[in-house]
Structure 1
Amino acid sequence: MARPTRKSRRKAEARGRQAETFAALFLQAKLYTILDRRVRLPMGEVDLIAKRGSILAFVEVKQRPTRALCQQAVPPQSWQRIARTAESWAGKRGFTQDLDWRYDLIAVTPFSLPHHFKDYWRP
């Protein structure tokens, strides 16, 4: 398999940002408050962090041709990095475990609204 070019990586990055924006708007329409986006820490990253009531959701966004491919795109090791990042982020901002933490997946597929898989993964 050929190595991706700088141009193709930039295009993929732009598509990812667009999918994250679409997912954030979708969550806001569902009355979630977006607390942070594109959180990058030494231990990993989280695409979106959202809150609704007592739920604190750490959301991974994947854009693929099908929902099934979105679901397959995040291996367990990635979820573990997301969980470590979530703990660090929440600790720095004073969010305690008294909120119901959840790890969600939002699948962005062509010609449809995003699909929100709530509580998709558990540490």
Structure 2
Amino acid sequence: MPAKRQIAEARGRAAERRAALWLRLKGYSILAMRVKLPVGEIDLVARKGRLIAFVEVKARARRDDALGAVSVQSWQRIARAAEAWMGQRPKFADYGWRYDIVALAPGRLPYHLKDAWRPGLA
């Protein structure tokens, strides 16, 4: 793997760890990190009460850039992965679920945008 790619990968992992810590501080349990399925990937799977949040983590120089960094195509891949993940876990069949973003920017607290996307609306 080229050095540039390794650096980006390490930064991504660090951002995901920061986001997971932030969510834990907000009362979420982290069920999974860096989920890779044939249909897509999920950065974090978190649970709070009877709600599952599929969380995309983005780190950019500015928070607004991080919030805008997820394309509709990316959300669609995340949604396919979320459906597959939920399908493999019948114990969560009666839980609600949504798609969130945690945006990270230097010198700022993480920003958790709940219900950031819904299938069919974008």
What is the TM-score normalised by the length of structure 2?
A: 0.93
Hey, what's the Cα distance between the residues in 1 that align with 2:2 and 2:110? 28
Per the alignment, residue 12 of structure 1 pairs with 8
4+ aligned runs moved over 4 Å, structure 1: none
1:63 and 2:59 correspond: yes
Hey, what's the Cα distance between the residues in 2 that align with 1:6 and 1:93? 36
| SS of equivalent residue, structure 1 residue 13 | helix
1:35 and 2:31 correspond: yes
| SS of equivalent residue, structure 1 residue 58 | strand
Which AA in structure 1 matches 2:109? L
Equivalenced residue count is 118
Within the candidate set 1, 14, 17, 1:21 is matched to 17
Identity %: 56
**Any gaps of 5 or more consecutive residues in structure 2?**
none
**Any gaps of 5 or more consecutive residues in structure 1?**
none
Hey, what's the Cα distance between the residues in 2 that align with 1:81 and 1:70? 18
Hey, what's the Cα distance between the residues in 1 that align with 2:64 and 2:107? 15
Which AA in structure 2 matches 1:62? K
Per the alignment, residue 78 of structure 2 pairs with 82
Q: Deviations over 1:22-41 (max 9, x none)?
A: 00000000110000000001
Hey, what's the Cα distance between the residues in 1 that align with 2:106 and 2:11? 12
Per the alignment, residue 113 of structure 1 pairs with 109
Q: How well do the aligned residues superpose, as a CA RMSD in angstroms?
A: 1.0
Per the alignment, residue 44 of structure 2 pairs with 48
